[in-house]
Structures are given as C-alpha cells and as structure tokens.
Amino acid sequence: MAGFASQGSPVATTGLTQGIHRSVQLRPEARALVAQGTQRSWREFAERVARLAGGLSELRIQPGDRVAMLGLNGPAYVEYYFAVLWAGGVIAPVNVRWSLEEKAHCLADSGALLLLADGVHLDEALTLAQGSSSLRAVVGIAAADEVLPGEVMPYEQLIAQSPVLPDARRGGQDLAALFYTGGTTGRAKGVMLSHDNFLANSMTALVNLGIREDTVHLHTAPLFHLAGGSRLFTITVAGGTHAVIPRFEPEAFLHAIETFGVNVTVVVPSMLNALLNLDGFDDYDLSSLKLLSYGASPMPERLLREAMERLPHVDFLQSYGMTELSPVATMLEPKYHVFEGPHAGKITSAGRAVFNADVAIQDPAGRELPLGDVGEICVRGPMVMQGYWGQPELTAEALRGGWMHTGDAGYMDGDGFIFLVDRLKDMIVTGGENVYSAAVEHVLYQYPAVHECAVIGIPSDQWGEAVHAILVPKPSMQLDAAEVLAHCRKHLAGYECPKTIEVRASELPKSGPGKILKAELRKAYWEGQERRIN
C-alpha cells in the first residue's frame, strides 16, 4: 500500500515486520487487533505502527537503539513491539512486577533511549527517567482526555503528528529484542534475541498449533515476558487476530473468549487452577476455544485431568522452553494428551523436540547420556539466543560446546519424549540423596485439599538440607500436616518425604508468567547461612 515503502535492496532479509506487509496486502480490512473498546483492521494497524515508528525516528531512534516499555497488556503494547522493529530498533520490555531498583537496572543495562509507559506506571517511569543517564524521553500512554505532565510526550499525539516511516526492513541476525530474565537470583540478564530467533519460534508454532489467518489469539500472559510476547510474532506472521486484555483475571479472561470468539490462548498452571475454581466457570460460552497451550511450570496431573474433562471440545498442547530459546524447544501435541491407550504415559512428558531443534541429555562433561538417564537438557538450533547482553563470560558458559545448557534436569525415553525432573538448581541434596522437588510436588498436588505447593531445601544440621513443603489449601478446606505426610509416604521414598510442612493462608509469590518464586521462599531460611543454595 502507498506509504509503506521499504528501505534496502530488492532482496530484503525477512524480518518480523514482514507479516504486517503481507496482511495489509492480502486482507487489509480484516481484524488485526481487538480489545475492550478497540478494534483495528490490518490497514489501520499498519498505519499506526508506521506513524509511531516515524515518531520514534523523530525522537532520534536509529537502527539498533533500544526502546523500553513499562505497562500492562493493551493495544499500545502490541503497536510498540512492531513500531520499534519497523524503525529498526530493539524492544526492551520492563517487568512491571520488579522493584524500582530492578527496573532501573534493566534500563541502565540495556541503554534504553526511550521509555513508553501506561497511565498506571507513568509516575514510576518519570522517577526512573530522573535517575537515568540514557533515557531521552518518556512517552505516556493515556486516554485522550487525560492531562499528562509537561515533560511527557503523549502517545496518541506522537502517532497523529508523525509521518509514515518506511520500514527499516531489519531481519536475519539483526538484534530484535532484549528480554530480561526474571531476576529471581542476582541481577537480571538481558537475553539477546534476533529476528531469525523469533521467526524460528513462529514457524514451530505455525506447524504445531495450527495458527492461521482465522485464528483469534487471546494475549493474557504479560507481554513483558516472552511467553506472552512471542505469540505476537506468530499471529502476525499468520495474519490472524490479536485479542488483548490488560492482565489475567479469571472473569475477564473468560469474558474475552466469549466476546471476541477466541480460539487459541496460553495459560500457566496457576491460571488454569484459578479458572477451574471460579464460581460460574461453566456459565461462560467457551465454544469458540479450540486450543489451550500451557507451560512455564509443571502442570499437576489432576488439574490437567479436570481441565480436559470440563473442556472436552478443547485440544491441549504443552510447550517447554525458556527465554534463551525464543522460547520453545519441545511440544507435547494434543494427541498425546491421553491417559489410556498406546500413548498413555506421554502426558507427563514435555513432549518432543520441535522440528528445527536438536535436544540432547548431557552429563556435566558435555557427553550425551543413554536413554532414561537423568542429565541436563541441552538444545541447539535457530531458536537459541545470541547471548547475554554485555556478559560474554556468562554467554560462553551457557552456550558451551555449541549447545544451550538449560539448567533443567531430565531424561529422554526411547520415543524421543523429554521428561522433566527438575531445575538442576532446585535439586535438594539431603543426607547424600538427590531429591527432585518437582517429583515431591507432583505427589502433593494429588492430595485433594492442596491448592498450591512448593518444595524447597532448607538448612539442616542433620541432613545438610531438609525437604520442606509449603502448602496453600483450597478455599474452605483445611490441611492437616500429619495426613499430608502420610499421603507422601504412600508414594515417595522416605528421604523424599518432607521433613517439615508449612501451611499458608495466602497464595505463594509468583513471577510475571506465573512461576512460583522459590528463591523468595528460600530466602527466609538461608539468609545468614554460610552455605547457600544456588
């Protein structure tokens, strides 16, 4: 379309903005983005992206410059992703759940020149800008009638007054994003991901999830995390529809599926747990939903069984990976989500390598282990990160031998299915025996009254580390520690059973993508100890 000319040679490197060009050409009036009070066609979306990119250019953003975002999910977040890339820049989303100090570290480490912020986080953004040596300006995303501080550039004004910028057409190995790891231990690291990294991930999603132009995908996972953000690229490549809600809330999530005709979405176990425990869950019309993808943390079998029983028309698909893998390395397809028949037993796995990934189980020396032996899950392929921003030593350690070392313990069966055992760092060494917390948690989740659980190692003069379970009961139910321990003894070796059990009334602390923050739980027990768990 006129106004969307591109820079560069006739043989352009394919990049993450290509999906916009294709969608404008093939289906300009089809829905690109829907949210409460907002609907935009691909033609409208492309023009806003190109004008926002023009505004970034006028604010002196050049190819390779980092642009940060601090906010909840919304139409502007989707536009931010693609406008920064359209201008040739690098996206650097900021986790809204971090402390002010952690956010400042992310901005300083990335060298971000601009910060976009929604109204909820604008005051914090201004505080961060005052303490930053790199930020040039803050762009405020607000309602049309909202008055912003004088030093803030209004987002809609920036789009309205800026010219359409030709697409920079960055692609290939050009840096596309810096995604900062959760920061659960030490300083967060910036994971460097290229256009090719994201396109490799998008191809696997297109193949395994059946994403097409009629797909309506609900983005409910935070877009500052790759679990949420990576699907923006997949849906755009396919020319589907982005449906967006600010944050996960069970009622809003179900209402969005019903209202927008959502047929694909992503959840983590804690989200699914909240949905199934919601009064009125069965009152919503979820007939449009065809595929529910899940991952990020282990899915309790009883929770998955219940979900499959209550959503019999929905296919379930598990993804396993990490930010450093853009983020997916293996998938467990819907046909393996069965409890009987020839595929029974595969449902407890993380699936098999996606078509463009090599996955191996290695010992500490980098040797591949026999089938069935537990070792570190290692991955290589076009989805593997370029490295950690400004940290060559950590990059070399993570990518040693040409493989991404995930830090996850697992094994491979004879059919190539990967079975996760635990994070290597979550392994508890008690009395000389290795205890994998995920195995203990699996048993605890089978206890009917357990809503959430986390198993950690705590200091023990007798054992070095002792197995400690932290439990949250289901609403209106009680947990008796002695009964829980008796349940564990039926299913676990003696050394695997919790030595102590703690029952909490409130939910366990979680990261943005819904992972339980075990580092935070451990902290109370290990502070002041001479030896710490890594």
User: Going from the N-terminus, what domains does the chain have, and what CATH number goes with each?
Assistant: 18-30+39-194 (3.40.50.980), 248-423 (3.40.50.12780), 431-526 (3.30.300.30)
In this prediction, residue 78 carries a pLDDT of 99
In this prediction, residue 375 carries a pLDDT of 96
If you average pLDDT over residues 300-320, what whole number do you get? 94
Residue 128 pLDDT greater than 60, yes or no: yes
In this prediction, residue 4 carries a pLDDT of 60
> Bigger pLDDT: 55 or 227?
55
95-128 burial: b if 16+ Cβ within 10 Å, else e: bbbbeeebbbbbbebbbbbbbbbbeebbeebbeb
* Token pair listed for 112: 């971000």
404-412 β-sheet, strand order: 358-362, 375-380, 404-412, 418-423
Burial label for 442, CB within 10 Å (0-12, 13-18, 19+), is: buried
If you average pLDDT over residues 346-372, what whole number do you get? 97
> Bigger pLDDT: 175 or 443?
175
* DSSP E strand boundaries for 186-276: 190-194, 216-219, 241-244, 264-267
Q: How far apart are CA 154 and CA 290, in angstroms?
A: 39
Q: Which amino acid is residue 136, in one-letter code?
A: R
Three-state secondary structure readout of 426-444:
HEEEECCEEEEHHHHHHHH
- List pLDDT tens digits, range 2-11: 456 545 555 5
How far is C-alpha 76 from the geometric centre of its chain's CA atoms? 19
> Bigger pLDDT: 524 or 67?
67
- List pLDDT tens digits, range 142-192: 876 777 888 899 999 999 999 999 999 999 999 999 999 854 345 789 999
Pairing assessment for the beta strands 31-35 and 241-244 based on DSSP bridges: parallel
In this prediction, residue 3 carries a pLDDT of 52
Q: How far apart are CA 63 and CA 57, in angstroms?
A: 9
Please report which confidence band the pLDDT of residue 97 belongs to, taking 50, 70 and 90 as the band edges.
confident
In this prediction, residue 436 carries a pLDDT of 80
In this prediction, residue 409 carries a pLDDT of 92
Residue 533 pLDDT greater than 50, yes or no: no
Residues of the chain with pLDDT > 90, as a percent, come to 77
Contact 91, 69 (CB under 8 A): yes
If you average pLDDT over residues 352-367, what whole number do you get? 97
> Bigger pLDDT: 339 or 421?
339
In this prediction, residue 183 carries a pLDDT of 42
Q: Which amino acid is residue 534, in one-letter code?
A: N
Which candidate, 297, 524, 507, places its Cα nearest to that of 423? 297
Residue partners of 137: CB distance under 8 A and separation at least 6: 59, 114, 115, 129, 153
Least trusted range by pLDDT, from 139-153, 278-292, 491-505? 139-153
Q: How far apart are CA 20 and CA 159, in angstroms?
A: 18
In this prediction, residue 12 carries a pLDDT of 58
Residues of the chain with pLDDT > 70, as a percent, come to 95
- List pLDDT tens digits, range 17-35: 999 999 999 999 999 999 9
Please report which confidence band the pLDDT of residue 385 belongs to, taking 50, 70 and 90 as the band edges.
very high
Q: Which amino acid is residue 260, in one-letter code?
A: F
Residue 323 pLDDT greater than 70, yes or no: yes
In this prediction, residue 182 carries a pLDDT of 53
Residue 339 pLDDT greater than 50, yes or no: yes
Q: What is the mean pLDDT of the chain?
A: 92
Place of tokens 């027990």: 525
Partners of 294 in the beta sheet? 267, 318
Q: How far apart are CA 290 and CA 294, in angstroms?
A: 13
Residue 431 pLDDT greater than 80, yes or no: no
In this prediction, residue 425 carries a pLDDT of 72
- List pLDDT tens digits, range 459-493: 887 777 899 999 999 999 999 999 999 999 998 88
> Bigger pLDDT: 98 or 248?
248
Please report which confidence band the pLDDT of residue 427 belongs to, taking 50, 70 and 90 as the band edges.
confident
